[in-house]
Structure 1
Amino acid sequence: MLRKIAVSDLTLGMYIHEFCRPRLHDPFWTQNVERELCDEAVLQRIKASIREVWIDTRRGRGPDERATILAEACSIPYKPDTAPSSLDEELIRAKAICGRAKAAVMTMFTDARMGRAMNAEDVDLLVEEISASVMRHPHALISLSRLKTSDEYTYMHSVAVCALMVALARQMEMSEEQVREAGVAGLMHDVGKMMIPAAILNKPDRLTLEEYEAMKHHPEAGLKILQDTQQTTPAVMDVCLHHHEKIDGSGYPHGLKGEAISLFSRMGAICDVYDAVTSDRPYKKGWDAAQSIREMASWKGHFDETIFQHFVKTIGIYPVGTLVRLKSERLGVVMEQGEKSLLHPKVKVVLSTRTRLPCAPKVIDLAHADEEDAIVKCELAADWGLRDIEKLWAGEAWV
C-alpha cells in the first residue's frame, strides 16, 4: 500500500516509491527511487533535502511497525490513540489521515481495476485509523473530508463515506464489530466505479442518459470485485450492491423497498448522498452542509426516516462550517455541536450584518445559560462576499 510520510519517519528497511519533489538532473534522485532503503548515507541525504516521500508498505517496512513490534514485545496489543481531542487538534491529525487515506484508496482501487486482489489487512488498518479519529473528535475528519477537490472526488468520497458510516454506527450504539464493518462498507461501497470507463467517470459535464445507464452498473461491478476478495463480509458486499436503493422502491439495481433493504445499505444510502451533494463537482458547486440536511429531509420515500434522524444527530442540524445569522445581527461559523441540543452549537462570530464589516473573532456557546443570542437562519458565504470560509473553522488544516 502506498503511503506518504514525513522524512522524519523514514527509516532503513522502507521501500521508496517516489520523492515528493520535482525531478532534478542529479542522478541521486532517480537512482534512489523504487528501491529498498538500506544505506544510512542515502537516508540522511534524503532527510536533509526533502520533507515528504511515498513508500510502499507491501515491499518494505511501514511507519507503524516500530510501535507494533514494541507492543508485541510487551504482550500488549497495538491500538491507535482514541483519547478525546479538541477540534483544532484533531483537524491537524485528520488532514494527515485524509492524505494517507486517499493514497491508500487509490492503491486499492487501482489494484481492483487491474484485477489484483485487495489486501484486507490494509482495508482494516485504514478503517481503524479513520474510526480512531472519529472517536477522538466526531466532527473533525467528517467535516474536513467534505472539502475535497473535484479531481480527487472518487477516492476521497470513499474516505468520507467511511467516516460517516463509522460515526452513524456509533450514534446508533452498534457494537464495535458492527462499527468496523460499517466503516469497511463505506470505504468499499463505490469500488465498482473503477470498472466504469474513465471518459464517463471523469466527465466534466452532466452525464447523458446513456452514460448514466452505464454508470448504474457500478454496484454489480463492485460486487464482483468484492466477491473475489475472500475476506469481504456479506454485509459489506450488500452495501456495495444496494447503496442506491430507496425506501419507496424507486432505486437501483433491484428496486428493493423498505426493510427489504438491509440496515447497513439504508445507512450507506444516506451517507453516500450527503457526501455527494456537499462536494464540489466539475459541473456543480456542492451544497452547504445545513442546506443538504434540509433538502434530504424533504425527499419523501428516499431514506429510512429513523436512520435519517440518527444521521442528523450525528452531524448536527447545523454541521461544522455552516454560516449562520444570529439574533444579535452578526454572522458566525459553526465550530462545535452543542452537547445537549442540536439547536445550540458553538459559533465563531465573524461579521456584522448591519455594517457588513468584520467582527473581532469570538467563539460563543449558544447552549450556555447566560448566552441570550440564538441562530435565526443559515446564510450563504457568497451572499456576504466571504471567501475561503473554511479557514475560519479548519484553520491550519485547510492551508
Structure 2
Amino acid sequence: MYIEKMAGPWLASPFWQRQLLLDNVDDLNKLRASTIREVWINLAKSTIVVSPAGSADAPAPPAEPAAITEPAPPPAVRPALNAIVPVGIADELEHATVLLKKSREAVQSMFMEARMGKAISMEAAAPLVDEIAESVLRNSDAMIGLARLKTSDDYTYMHSVAVCALMVALGKQLNLDDDALREAGMAGLLHDIGKMAIPLTILQKPGKLSDEEYQQIKRHPKAGYDMLASLPMIPAAALDVCLHHHEKIDGSGYPEGLKGGSISLYSRMGAICDVYDAITSNRPYKQGWCPAESLRRMAEWSKGHFDERIFAAFVKCLGIYPIGTLVRLKSERIGVVVEQATGKPLTKPKVRVFYSAKSRSYLRPELIDLSAPGVKDGIASTEEAATWGLEDIDRYWSGEVEFI
C-alpha cells in the first residue's frame, strides 16, 4: 500500500519519508509498533488490488498485462537510538569528523535557504538529526568535542550542529525515549534559525554590539518561530525551543519572560546546551572558555538561569572535566582530557599527558586512565594553555596524535 500521509509528529514515524510504498510485513510491523495510529492510503498508487464491497465471491477480472516498472526503493528505516552500543572515542573520531563536515554543509544550505525566504526541508533535516544522534550515542565525546573546535566564521552553522548533539546527549542522560531524543535533536538543530532574519553585519560584528543591535539580536527567537510554524509536521519541541531557548528560570529571559515551570523541559534543556556551546566557542569578539571553566561559571548561574536538576544531568553526561580540558596532575604532568571513563567517577577521566610542569618541557604523549586499578595519580587543577605557552592542545585528543 502507498501511504500518502501519517497522523502524528514526523519524528514518531519509523521512516524518514512521509510518503512511501509499504510492501512488506517487516515494515508494516515497524509502523504498527510506532506511535502513529492513523495513515491515509492512496489506492491509485498502491500495488494491492482492493475488491469492491460485497464481491468477495465474485470471479476475478481477466488479468491484464502488467506494466514494466522499476521497483520502489525500500523505505529508509530509522534506527532504534536507545539500542545503539557505545564505542570508544578512538573508534568514533574518524566517522564524527566526516559527519561534521557533512552537517556543516547541510546546515549552511538550510540556513541560506531560510535567509532567502525559502522553507526548510524537513526531509533533509530529519536524516541529519538521526546521523548526529547515532554518533553521539556511540560516543558523545567525539562529536561534542569536535563540534567545539569550530572557527568563528563557522559559528552560526556549527553552533546549531553542536547544540543538536548536546541536546541528544542530555536527553539520553535524562532517559528520554527514541521519539523524544529525535525531537530534542531537531530542536537543537533549528533553535537559531531565526538568526537568518538578522543582518550579517550584526551577526559577524567583531566588537561589542550597540543597544540597538542587541535589540535586533533579541528578535531571532520570534523570527525563527515564524519561519518554522508554517512547516508541515514540524515537531512541537522544535517550535518551543526556537521561541524559548533564551528564557531563564528566574523570569529574566526573553522574549516572554517565562519563569520556572512555565518553561518546557525541552526549552530548559535548550537554554543549557545553547549557553555551553556559546561560551566554549571562539567568537568574532572573544575567545571561548575551556570546557571545565565554562561548567564552573554555569554552575554559578544555575540558580537563576537554569533548571538545577537538568544542569546536574548535563554535568554528569559531559563530566566535571569535559573532553578538551587542560589539567595538571598530582604528578606534575600536564595533559588534555580525552574521554570520560564509562561508569567511573566523574573526577577520573582519561587524560593524555604531554608536558612536564616541573621542567617546562614536552614529554612523549601518554594516555592515562585515572580510574584504572592501581593508578594513584589524579587531577590537581585545571590550567590555561597560555599560562604554559602551549598551543593547539586539541590535537592531542582530536585524532592528530595517535594513542599509545
Please indicate the TM-score interval, normalised by the length of the shorter structure.
0.7 to 0.9
| 1:117 matched to 2:112 | no
Amino acid at match of 1:181: E
Which of structure 1's runs of 4+ aligned residues deviate more than 2 A? Answer: 69-73, 75-86, 395-398
Q: Say if 2:99 and 2:132, in contact at 8 Å, map to a contact too.
A: yes
Q: Which residue of 2 aligns with 1:303?
A: 306
Q: 1:114 to 1:76 in 2, by over 3 A?
A: closer
2:358 & 2:283 partners in 1: Cα distance? 34
| 1:330 matched to 2:333 | yes
Find 2:399's aligned residue among 372, 375, 395: 395
Shift of 1:89: 2.8
Q: Which residue of 2 aligns with 1:228?
A: 230
Q: Say if 2:80 and 2:178, in contact at 8 Å, map to a contact too.
A: no
Q: Say if 1:338 and 1:345, in contact at 8 Å, map to a contact too.
A: yes
Q: 1:99 to 1:172 in 2, by over 3 A?
A: same
| 1:211 matched to 2:204 | no
Deviations 1:283-317 (A, max 9, x none): 10000010000000001301000000000011111
Q: Say if 2:341 and 2:349, in contact at 8 Å, map to a contact too.
A: yes
1:395 & 1:309 partners in 2: Cα distance? 29
Shift of 1:83: 4.6
Amino acid at match of 2:358: R
Q: Which residue of 1 aligns with 2:168?
A: 166
Find 1:268's aligned residue among 261, 267, 270: 270
Amino acid at match of 1:131: A
2:300 & 2:205 partners in 1: Cα distance? 29
1:396 & 1:377 partners in 2: Cα distance? 25
Q: 1:394 to 1:265 in 2, by over 3 A?
A: same
Amino acid at match of 1:91: L
1:204 & 1:322 partners in 2: Cα distance? 26
Deviations 1:68-127 (A, max 9, x none): x99966x89475995533312311111111111111111111121222111111110000
2:318 & 2:215 partners in 1: Cα distance? 32
Q: Give the SS at the match of 1:139.
A: helix
1:387 & 1:129 partners in 2: Cα distance? 32
Q: Give the SS at the match of 2:246.
A: coil
Aligned length: 329
Q: Which residue of 2 aligns with 1:315?
A: 318
Q: Give the SS at the match of 1:395.
A: coil
Find 2:371's aligned residue among 348, 367, 391: 367
Q: Say if 1:131 and 1:163, in contact at 8 Å, map to a contact too.
A: yes
Q: Say if 1:95 and 1:397, in contact at 8 Å, map to a contact too.
A: no
Percent identity, aligned pairs only, is 55
Q: 1:150 to 1:228 in 2, by over 3 A?
A: same
Find 2:128's aligned residue among 126, 131, 155: 126
Query: Which aligned pairs between 1:53-64 and structure 2 lie closer than 5 A?
Result: none
Q: Which residue of 2 aligns with 1:88?
A: 90
Find 2:384's aligned residue among 380, 386, 394: 380
Amino acid at match of 1:336: E
2:77 & 2:132 partners in 1: Cα distance? 18
Query: Which aligned pairs between 1:97-108 and structure 2 lie closer than 5 A?
Result: 97-108=99-110
Q: 1:362 to 1:348 in 2, by over 3 A?
A: same
Shift of 1:143: 0.5
Q: Say if 1:162 and 1:183, in contact at 8 Å, map to a contact too.
A: yes
Q: Give the SS at the match of 2:400.
A: helix
Shift of 1:369: 2.3
Find 2:360's aligned residue among 326, 344, 356: 356
2:272 & 2:192 partners in 1: Cα distance? 14
Shift of 1:267: 0.2
Query: Which aligned pairs between 1:282-301 and structure 2 lie closer than 5 A?
Result: 282-299=284-301, 300-301=303-304
Shift of 1:381: 0.9
Q: Which residue of 2 aligns with 1:20?
A: none
Deviations 1:311-366 (A, max 9, x none): 00111110011110111111111111122210000111111111011122111111
C-alpha RMSD over aligned residues? 2.0
2:254 & 2:128 partners in 1: Cα distance? 29
Structure 2: 5+ residue runs without aligned partners?
1-69
Structure 1: 5+ residue runs without aligned partners?
1-68
Q: Say if 1:92 and 1:396, in contact at 8 Å, map to a contact too.
A: no
Query: Which aligned pairs between 1:131-142 and structure 2 lie closer than 5 A?
Result: 131-142=133-144
Q: Which residue of 1 aligns with 2:183?
A: 181
Q: Say if 2:78 and 2:130, in contact at 8 Å, map to a contact too.
A: no
Q: Which residue of 2 aligns with 1:62?
A: none
Q: Say if 2:92 and 2:139, in contact at 8 Å, map to a contact too.
A: yes
1:71 & 1:264 partners in 2: Cα distance? 37
1:283 & 1:76 partners in 2: Cα distance? 43
Q: Give the SS at the match of 1:259.
A: helix
Deviations 1:163-182 (A, max 9, x none): 00011001110010000000
